[in-house]
A = this chain, B = another copy of it.
Amino acid sequence: MKSELGRLLGLEGDVNLHFVDSPALHGNALGDPSTRPLAVYTPPDFDPGGSKRYATIYVLHGYTGDVAALVAARPWETNVIQWADRLVRAGEMPPTLVALIDGYNRLGGSQYVDSIGSGAYATHTVRDSVGFVDATYPTIASEGGRAVVGKSSGGFGAMYLAMTRPGVFCAFASHSGDANFYGAYVGEFPRTRRILETHGGDARAFVESFEKKFKRSSDELHAIMLLGQAAAYSPRSAVAFDFDLPFDLVTGALREDVFARWLAFDPAEICVDYEAALAALRLRYLDCGSRDEYGLDAGARMVVARMRDMGLDVRHEEFDDDHRNVGYRYATSFPALARVMEAG
């Protein structure tokens, strides 16, 4: 029988919500729960007990998102599960599982990296979440049966995990993923510095105030995002809020030593260090809106240029749009990923 959520979303297939305890997140620095929702889309005619094995696409949400936001629906909009169902129904991709991973934390997102400052979200994703799906569903439980995709910070996560965790996924797709941190991040520093200044430079004080508000400004959302990045990229210890900021709190001057630690995660910088992992992939896919507000179209171009310099094939597209609401790009990436994965 179809789940309530599957029915609400009007799926021909279905979706199951699991709540999975992730050992990787036990005792994380920010005190976030280790039990996380994990949603799995199953296509029409899915037979959990049959002999058929399914390839799985793992979806990573963006900043300020989570699994609840991924499964949310609105009139006229198509969410990621509805896209999967629509593509399978239309025969544009074979029956495939789609698993939605939760990488949210108190600072709005983990960037899917392992950090003492926020938690081991890379391990949470590639070990605990993938492990749960393989243990629970009739998957093709090997690299060739798994791909990873995401938008914005989720696109960053897809690139980052495909590079740094070889052997888990055979393909990645990054939609408007973070890259070229100079271009993408530095422009946000002044606004965040001002907000922190109104809280005496105390990140915790700002976050506690932020959490109590009914409505939050764009500047406040960018500020918490920057704190999340600091916890991910430049933590000082496993104490909550003990991280280095990439700018001087008084003058706003760039702290080059701290920013160098950030750049050690920038796909445009580090892709050259992961040539073997990247070469082993069956598909490297990046796209971005040509009017992206964060200049991530340039970031994608830089990643693509460097991968091509290494002799790798990359699928690269630009589309006429900005950073927001580009979920319709799944209609391009899902079939492309499904095509290179093993069929059961």
A contact set with B: CB distance below 8 Å: 3-5, 7-9, 16-17, 19, 37, 64-69, 71-76, 104, 108, 180, 182-183, 186-187, 189-191, 193-194, 210-211, 214-216, 247, 250-254, 268, 290-292, 295, 297-299, 301-302, 305, 321, 325, 328
Q: Which of A4, A64, A305, A328 has the most CB of B within 10 A?
A: A4
CA distance A17 to B8 in the complex (A): 8
* Chain A interface mostly: mixed
**Contacting residue for A301 out of B65, B250, B254, B295, CB 8 A:** B250
Partner among B37, B72, B190, B305 whose Cβ is within 8 Å of the Cβ of A74: B72
A301 contacts B215, C-beta separation under 8 Å: no
Asked if A65 and B75 sit within 8 Å, CB to CB, the answer is yes
**B104 engages A252 (CB within 8 Å):** no
CB atoms of B194 and A290 under 8 A apart: yes
What are 23 A-B pairs with beta-carbon distances under 8 A? Answer: A3-B4, A4-B17, A5-B5, A5-B17, A8-B17, A66-B75, A68-B75, A69-B72, A72-B72, A183-B254, A186-B186, A187-B295, A189-B298, A190-B295, A191-B295, A194-B297, A215-B328, A247-B298, A251-B301, A252-B299, A252-B301, A252-B302, A253-B298
What residue in chain B is nearest A65 (Cβ atoms)? B75
When chains A and B are docked, how far (Å) is the Cα of A151 from the Cα of B150? 33
A97→B254 CA distance, assembly (Å): 40
Task: A64 to B190: give the CA distance in the assembly, Å.
Answer: 24
Is the Cβ of A211 less than 8 Å from the Cβ of B76? yes
Which residues from B are CB-within-8-Å of A8?
Answer: 17, 37, 67-68, 71
* Distance to closest chain B CB from A320 (angstroms): 11
* In the complex, chain B residues whose CB is within 8 Å of the CB of A4: 3-5, 16-17
Q: Once the chains bind, are A295 and B189 in contact (CB under 8 Å)? A: yes
For A188, the closest partner residue in chain B by CB is B187
Contact across chains for A64 and B72 when beta carbons are under 8 A apart: no
The answer to whether B76 touches A69 (Cβ under 8 A) is: no
Which residues on the B side are within 8 Å of A302 (C-beta)? 251-253
